């Protein structure tokens, strides 16, 4: 399972989402879209969103910190 998080350092929901993933032992790659412009474009192409966090689990896009959806997709 591949998990990618697009976030910014100042985003409280991003911090909550990453803490949730950490607590459940989920490995993920984290991209700071406030400084990684290429990743910002990638995030927008995949989600049509400029808001963060955007979490991609395999090919499923989760907008925001949606704990219920994350649990469902991660089978937690």
Fold of 3-74: Glutaredoxin (3.40.30)
Rounded CA-CA distance 61/48 in Å is 10
> How confident is the model at residue 29, as a pLDDT?
97
Per-residue pLDDT tens over the stretch 43-64 = 999 999 889 999 999 999 999 9
Average pLDDT score, the chain: 96
pLDDT range class, residue 2, cuts 50, 70, 90: very high
Which class for 53: exposed (0-12), middle (13-18), buried (19 or more C-beta within 10 A)? buried
d(CA 52, CA 37): 14
Residue 8: what pLDDT?
97
């Amino acid at each position: 399972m591949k998990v990618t998080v697009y976030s910014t350092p100042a985003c409280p929901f991003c911090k909550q989402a990453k803490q949730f993933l950490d607590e459940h032992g989920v490995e993920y790659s984290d991209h700071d879209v406030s400084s990684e412009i290429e990743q910002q474009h990638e995030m927008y192409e995949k989600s049509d969103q400029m808001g963060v966090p955007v979490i991609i689990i395999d090919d499923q896009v989760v907008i925001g910190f949606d704990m219920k959806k994350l649990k469902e997709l991660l089978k937690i």
